[in-house]
A and B are shown apart, each in its own frame.
Chain A
Amino acid sequence: MLGKLDWSAIPFDQPIPLVAGAVVLVAILAVLIWVVVKGHLPYLWREWITSVDHKRIGVMYILLASVMLLRGGSDAIMMRIQQAVAYQSQGYLPPEHYNQIFSAHGTIMIFFVAMPFVIGLMNLIVPLQLGVRDVAFPTLNSVGFWLTATGALLVNISLVVGEFARTGWLAFPPLSELSYSPGVGVDYYAWSLQISGVGTLLAGINLVTTVLKLRTKGMNYLRMPMFCWTTLASNLLIVAAFPILTATLAMLLLDRYLGFHFFTNEAGGNVMMFMNLIWAWGHPEVYILVLPAFGIFSEVVSTFSGKALFGYRSMVLATMAICVISFMVWLHHFFTMGAGPDVNAIFGIASMIIAVPTGVKIYNWLFTMYGGRIRFATPMLWAVGFMVTFIIGGLTGVLVAVPPADFMLHNSMFLVAHFHNVIIGGVLFGAFAGFEYWFPKAFGFRLDERWGKAAFWFTFLGFYVTFMPLYIVGMLGMTRRMQHYDVAAWRPWMIVAAVGMAVLTIGVICQIMQLVVSIRNREALRDRTGDPWDGRSLEWATSSPPPVFNFAFHPDVRGEDAYWAMKAHARQQSFEHEVPEYQDIEMPRNSPTGFVCAFFATIMGFALIWHIWWMVILGGIGAFATFVVFAWRDHDEYVIPAEEVARIDRVNLEERRSLVSMAGAV
């Protein structure tokens, strides 16, 4: 009846996951009860869960990423403590726990923190920057989000029901094959990623289409803000690379479920094929994450320097060059497989070539600052912190692209330090910069600067204290994923790294405090202009938060930095426009399709993991039926009448004009 599932799946004898799971469960229940008792449920259902508004979906993506960041961060804290204490002892985590924790940490941080964070920011901002009213496929957008949430949910269920993979975040066979990992851990891993991978692919298709097909009047490709360009590049990579991940995991699942032999030791399976396939996805994935971050920094550096982005066309070229070359370097993840000198050298050099456009980007940001008038608001601090940190990560990255150096550093703690250097210093700093920068746009009030700056400094310093020691132990021969060790020389550095982790934790606490304090002081921090940073692109041309239709009129773009130009134009002329002719606006109707579909997908995923076949069929039929119902819908849009548009827009205009005239008086 329940397949492999029985009471032994719940780890009653292991306090750590059980207590953690119980705390999470109690927290979720408390929130749910509060929501129901206070009567917020209809509001949540109507305005958020079934919403197809790109802004709402973007916010939900970022919320998911933030919650999962706390989960992945807890894993990181446990790992750092374990390695600090497990010198000549077993520490406090036995191998079967420790191995799950580092596997879950990697999986969560990449798939359920970094990915939803950048996709959330792209969703939130790109349609606004393009001057349009929504993404190309609003309901698909909602489906994509909820499927990502399904994956995250399944990973968290594994905490208390069964186990997670103990194979590392890429589940290399043959270790991940049934013979060596007979438990459900790898199945949790694979099905979570299969389901959320569909969500990511949908998001990718949606955003590519949005950038290519939905741009406002005059928004040529070479007038798009840099963030739109990096979004395009990143989502092209998603569309090209995620099917590889899906196919690779499908093959692994066929091995595990139906006795195939793609990657087994027996019957001609080949682990090297898995290595190649997973990295053919995995390397573009790195750029899927970091390209949007580059876009965010381009916006931030330009805005806070009070200058247009230096070398815009050069930046576009660099972005697209990275997009293409990132597909040609995957072999550098396994120089030590013995491929031979020609292959290694060619992939090593190809990997270095990526550093050229990346370096160009750094220099262009540098020259954007040159001759600027730089305001060090929190987003700009993250940007400068990023530039310094990312260069160091780039240096160590090019170093491990030199095959003979990689022969010493592959899989070492040096490598761990390197990719945290670029992912924290690049993607996470970028996500935080974007969060600080666009928060007022999403919610209509700014974030508290003092807590924001504290969060930056603690995170910045904490990063160095945590990861510089890992570079050093890597040079001392320490390899990654060690549950315990006997080498005395490594010990002091692991203790320093644990201290660094504490500093990073303070950074996260500051981040949470910033949110709490800002929400409490929201009236004082209210942004009535819609343009709190003196911005340059179109997202600042509408109110904060923007109305559901974003823009009452499609903006007319006459050059780069569209909103900057409009402001300059408006300053030269008087502000009294003729009263515009408002028109009815058609907007997509809300739809529960995404939520319902993800509900069935969760059931199906859980059932697949535990071999509960009747439930698999139930979930599959349910998810498919949801699509059919949606496909047969009669009304997919509703009309906002012109008077309503006019009313909303006039309030917005009044507010701005009064502010401008006040500024003029001063």
Chain B
Amino acid sequence: MNLLDPQGPVAAANSTILVDSVFIMLVIVVPTIFAILAFAFWFRASNPKARYQPEFVYSGRVEMVVWAIPALTVILLGGVAWIGSHQLDPAAPVPGTGSPVRIQAVSLDWKWLFIYPDQRIATVNTLTVPVGAELNFQLTSSSVMNTFFIPQLGSMIYTMNGMVTKLNLRADNEGKLQGLSAHFSGDGFPDMMFDVNVISPLAFPEWVAATAKTDAVLNADSYKKLMQQGIEKGRPVYRLDDPRLFDLIATQHIPPGPGPELASEAGRSHSGGHDAR
């Protein structure tokens, strides 16, 4: 999950900006730290060679330099930030080879649901994508906020109930990656890690066909079961019944997840939660 080992163009650009910004600042920061230590050491009271200049309390030239150095650094970095923000806008397309793959991600308590509306399938806690293709994500949440993040593919983005965020990524190398939620969402939050399988464009249709053979069907009813609070250790897959399921979730036609089951008293007996509402 090393950020400096990017597996796609977005992560590569992000980490380049990250590293470049650090170097731009180090040019200023390292000499400053040295100067602090050097001045502190040289002008120690016990050093007879250091010249005591109690009247050296203002110098226009020094002031100009000390305002100019940080200002120039910030102008340079501001340029990086402006250009970077526009080029790496999560909503901006990331051209790839072959046809783009649309993926609709829903954060549930506490698992990830990935819907492939064009392929009519859905998976939980596993994201399978073809190498090199443009990946168009639409994201929402079934209940609380989460953040969708695959560190080696780049930019993260919030998922929020009743809203859709957009993210475009591309994976350039086959292999297994990991993703996670980067926004605390409750007791099962650390188990919201998911697998990312990047497979060849030829293997992708085969995987889709194999997945579509499953008996499990994802529709509004099975989705409501899935969004109950709980941790999913398995990797269930579904055939997608209605390709508009994501829209029904995002527009709240399917109401938000219920939160903790008030019937189960265990684990909340100390919280005073039992007669809330």
Contact = CB atoms under 8 A, between A and B. Distances in A.
Interface in B53-101: 53-54, 56-59, 62-63, 66-67, 69-71, 73-74, 77-78, 80-82, 84-92
A353 B90 contact: no
Interface stretch (A44-52, A146-154, A301-309, A421-429): A301-309
A373 B44 CA distance: 6
Interface stretch (B117-125, B153-161, B220-228, B236-244): B153-161
Interface stretch (A218-226, A291-299, A479-487, A507-515): A479-487
B43 A371 contact: yes
Contacts of B56: 307, 310, 367, 370-371
A266 B256 contact: yes
B271 A162 contact: yes
A410 B268 CA distance: 31
A36 B161 CA distance: 56
Contacts of B57: 307-312, 368
A336 B147 contact: yes
A183 B271 CA distance: 4
B180 A479 contact: yes
B102 interface: no
B66 to A, nearest CB: 4
Interface string A311-336: 11010000000000000000000101
Contacts of A378: none
A578 to B, nearest CB: 30
Interface centre among A367, A387, A394, A404, by most B CB within 10 Å?
Answer: A404
Contact of A395 (B29, B158, B270): B29
Contacts of B156: 336, 407-408, 410-411
Contacts, number: 328
Contacts of B275: 4
A373 B271 contact: no
Interface stretch (A340-348, A544-552, A580-588): A340-348
A511 to B, nearest CB: 23
Contacts of B70: 355-356, 358-360
Interface string A383-426: 01001100110110011011111011111100000000000000
B259 interface: yes
Interface in A599-632: 610
**Residues of A in contact with B, size category:** 35 or more
B217 interface: no
Contacts of A9: 270, 272
A190 to B, nearest CB: 14
A345 B87 CA distance: 11
Contact of A182 (B3, B36, B86, B271): B271
B270 to A, nearest CB: 5
A481 B190 CA distance: 8
B3 A476 contact: yes
A388 B33 contact: yes
Contacts of B91: 338, 340
Contact of A475 (B2, B71, B188): B2
B128 interface: no
A305 B43 contact: yes
Interface string A357-378: 0111011101111111111100
Contacts of A368: 57
Interface stretch (A168-176, A203-211, A247-255): A168-176
A506 B89 CA distance: 46
Interface in A165-204: 166-168, 172, 174-175, 178-180, 182-185
Contacts of A375: 45
Given A184-B271, A486-B193, A373 B43 contact: yes
Given A4-B275, A338-B166, A410-B147, A180 B259 contact: yes
Given A4-B275, A179-B259, A356-B74, A407 B58 contact: no
A320 B17 CA distance: 31
Contacts of B162: 265
Given A265-B161, A489-B1, 10 more contacts: A180-B143, A265-B256, A306-B45, A336-B157, A338-B91, A344-B89, A398-B74, A410-B156, A478-B1, A482-B190
Interface of A: 4-5, 8-11, 14, 95-96, 99, 162-163, 166-168, 172, 174-175, 178-180, 182-185, 265-266, 271-272, 305-312, 314, 334, 336-338, 340-342, 344-345, 348-349, 352-353, 355-356, 358-360, 362-364, 366-376, 384, 387-388, 391-392, 394-395, 398-399, 401-405, 407-412, 475-487, 489, 610
7 contacts: A184-B273, A265-B252, A311-B62, A369-B39, A392-B29, A405-B21, A483-B190
Interface of B: 1-4, 11, 13-15, 17-18, 21-22, 25-26, 28-29, 32-33, 35-37, 39-40, 43-45, 50-54, 56-59, 62-63, 66-67, 69-71, 73-74, 77-78, 80-82, 84-92, 143-145, 147, 149, 151-152, 154-158, 160-163, 165-166, 178, 180-190, 193, 252, 255-256, 258-260, 262, 267-277
